[in-house]
Amino acid sequence: MEILKDEFGPEYVINIYDPKLKMEGFLVIDNTVLGPGKGGIRMTDNVSAEEVFRLARTMTFKNALADLPFGGAKAGIIWKGGSPELKKQFVQSFARSIKLLTPKKYIAAPDVNTGEKEMQWFVEATGNWRSATGKPANLCMKLFGEKEEKCGIPHEYGSTGFGVAKTAETAAEMLKIDIKGAKVAIHGFGNVGTFAYIFLTDMGAKVIALADAQTSIFQEDGFDKGLMLKIIRDKKTLKDYPFGEKITAEKFWEIPTDILIPASITNVINDKNKDKIKTKVIVEAGNIPMSEEIEKEFLKKGIWIVPDFIANAGGVISSYAEYRGYNPKKMMDTIEKKIKKNVRIIMQKSIKENKNPRDVGMEIAVNRITKWKQ
């Protein structure tokens, strides 16, 4: 796709190149009406300016809908792999290249192949504590003019997965589905999927199907939580889970559920598997897990969708909490309050008016941006 230019942006599309390292990256600051552009840095071998724009635009509306004083932005660094030392050089070269824009116009965060370590490298290179969120919890600093020391809140606390679980709980409540005993399938078992599993299990939901990049498992009576927590803690994969039925990647989508959570890659739900899916609500934990056309097809079938920029907003809300200097407990309380409020508003209007939740969410986000623009 081409980079769309419209009334929202993008304000900046920047190509970065370090000839010494052969580091190439992109920064798209889409819209800063509500505040500095906020969005993660992804490091993949095929990231492009177009992909970064698409994600930055999603952040514009995600932040507006979450009612945060942030605009939308995203960054990407082409990373074909290498040593930790080389990765640090790439991240810090990128950070120095955009230093003049942080944090007034852009605030970084973790994304694909970046985490708390990369965010520490980023702020060390910019020399500004506020230039990135998702920093390590033990990275603390006393800011000028402020009494208390501020510490990082890494995304590894599970903020996005927690927000996904609260989204699922609230959507289920709106659709008269009892979360206790509700059958759930989660596709993707990284940071988001693992924490969504933990929090939903704690709520009493029955997670019956899980999938990571290599393995899909079905267990009709739900997974053994103690064993699964050990696998997560030991950073093992689903193939190490000793029980349940190992199924094909295609079979995963055929399992009837109450709640389906795609928490993996872009367009994971597509023309090949969409007609096999039998569920009541899809909570989009991953970014752009399906096209908008497929979303509309599901809605016609009576399957509700909670779109990505609502469902996975826990991460950006935690970024706001870190930016404000909150502690982890206050961060989680803020996520729960904002997620529940926004999901209720959107689902209530969608159900009452029989409208697409994405359209309803977009209307709210656009209204918030245009109100401040005027």
End-to-end Cα distance, the chain: 30
Interatomic CA distance for residues 185 and 216, integer angstroms: 10
Q: Which residue is associated with the tokens 């998702």? A: 134
* Strand partners of residue 24: 17
Does 334 map to a domain?
no
- How high is the mean pLDDT of the chain? 94
pLDDT at residue 106, rounded to an integer: 98
Total domains in the chain come to 2
Q: Based on the fold, state whether residues 143 and 165 are members of the same structural domain.
A: no
Checking if the pLDDT of 7 tops 70, the result is: yes
Asked if the model's pLDDT at residue 146 lies above 80, the reply is no
Could you tell me the pLDDT band of residue 58, with boundaries at 50, 70 and 90? confident
Please say if 99 is a catalytic residue. no
Give me the helices (H) in the chain, please: 49-65, 84-97, 116-126, 159-174, 191-202, 225-233, 249-252, 292-300, 308-311, 314-324, 328-353, 357-373
Query: Which of 123, 152, 181 delimits the end of a domain?
Result: 152
We report the CATH number of the domain holding residue 191 as: 3.40.50.720
What would the mean pLDDT of 133-139 be, rounded to a whole number? 92
Asked if pLDDT for residue 145 goes beyond 70, the answer is no
Asked if residue 155 has pLDDT above 70, the reply is no
- Same domain for 140 and 178, yes or no, is no
For the stretch 271-284, pLDDT in tens is: 999 999 999 999 99
**Range in 53-57, 302-306, 321-325 with the lowest mean pLDDT:** 321-325
Instruction: Indicate whether 212 pLDDT > 90.
Output: yes
Q: Which of 38, 74, 206, 338 is catalytic?
A: 74
244 with 111, same domain? Answer: no
Regarding predicted confidence, which is higher, 156 or 359?
359
Confidence (pLDDT) at 277:
98
Q: Are residues 204 and 353 in the same domain?
A: yes
Q: Please give the pLDDT value at position 144.
A: 63
Cβ atoms of 240 and 267 closer than 8 Å: no
Domain boundary among 104, 131, 152: 152
Which pair of structure tokens corresponds to residue 75? 């960054």
- Cα angle: 197, vertex 204, 352; to 5 degrees: 90
Residue 373 falls within a domain, yes or no?
Answer: no
Query: Do 139 and 166 fall into the same domain?
Result: no
β-bridge partners, 106? 37
Structural domain ending residue among the three candidates 152, 176, 203: 152
Q: In what order do the strands lie in the sheet with 216-218?
A: 245-247, 216-218, 206-211, 183-187, 259-262, 281-283, 304-306
pLDDT at 288: 86
User: pLDDT tens digits for 320-358?
Assistant: 998 888 888 999 999 999 999 999 999 999 999 999 999
Query: Cα(323)–Cα(24) distance, rounded to whole angstroms?
Result: 28
Judged by DSSP in three states, 213 sits in coil
**Would you call 105 helix, strand, or coil by DSSP?**
coil
Residue 115 maps to which CATH number?
A: 3.40.50.10860
Q: Do 145 and 21 fall into the same domain?
A: yes
Residue 64 in domain:
no
pLDDT digits (tens, 9 = 90+) for 223-233: 999 999 999 99
Q: What is the pLDDT at residue 374?
A: 53
At residue 64, does pLDDT exceed 60?
yes
Task: Give, in order, the Cα–Cα distances in Å from 315 to each of 28, 41, 133, 156, 245.
Answer: 19, 13, 10, 10, 32
Residues 6+ apart with CB under 8 A from 189: 197, 210, 211, 212, 237, 238, 263
Chain position carrying tokens 């920064």: 27
Write out the residue range of the structural domain in which residue 245 sits. 159-314+344-361
**Quick one: 213 and 192 in the same domain?**
yes
Is residue 148 domain-shared with residue 163, that is, in the same domain?
no
Question: Is the model's pLDDT at 315 over the cut of 60?
Answer: yes
Close Cβ partners of 262 (under 8 Å, ≥ 6 residues apart): 187, 188, 268, 269, 282, 284, 285, 286, 289, 290
Q: How far apart are CA 60 and CA 41, in angstroms?
A: 15
